[in-house]
Amino acid sequence: MIEIAKVLLSASQEVYQAISQIRNLKRTTELIEHCHHISKYEHQGDTVYRNAIAELFDTNDPIEIIKFKEIYETLEGALDRCADASDVIEDITLKYT
């Protein structure tokens, strides 16, 4: 869980940096670079998520499985929203350059 949270933190920081630079469309390469980093983090998060879910089913406690699965899904969903924001930033960058 800590590993996926770290990936989410990194992706969120990239989104913040991209958003703070969006007004300056003269730096398109930097914006696109942030978007690529966010995509990389999202893919990394997907891998961590799949592994974590697989490990969950090694336990025999159904309550624990349900609780942790919900937490993992929420964290992975947040990573997906970072990727969505990245797509919008990239579209804006490409449209106005």
Predicted confidence at residue 7, as pLDDT, reads 97
> CA–CA separation, 89 vs 22, rounded Å?
8
pTM of the model: 0.90
CATH hierarchy code of domain 2-95 = 1.20.58.220
- Divide the 97 residues of the chain into consecutive groups of 10 and give the mean pLDDT of each group: 96 95 84 96 97 90 93 97 96 86
Predicted confidence at residue 6, as pLDDT, reads 97
**Contacts made by residues 38-44, CB under 8 angstroms, sequence distance 24+:** 38/11, 38/14, 38/82, 38/83, 38/85, 38/86, 39/83, 39/86, 41/7, 41/8, 41/10, 41/11, 41/14, 41/79, 41/82, 42/11, 42/79, 42/80, 42/82, 42/83, 42/86, 44/7
Predicted confidence at residue 23, as pLDDT, reads 84
Predicted confidence at residue 57, as pLDDT, reads 86
- Token code pair at residue 60: 């025999």
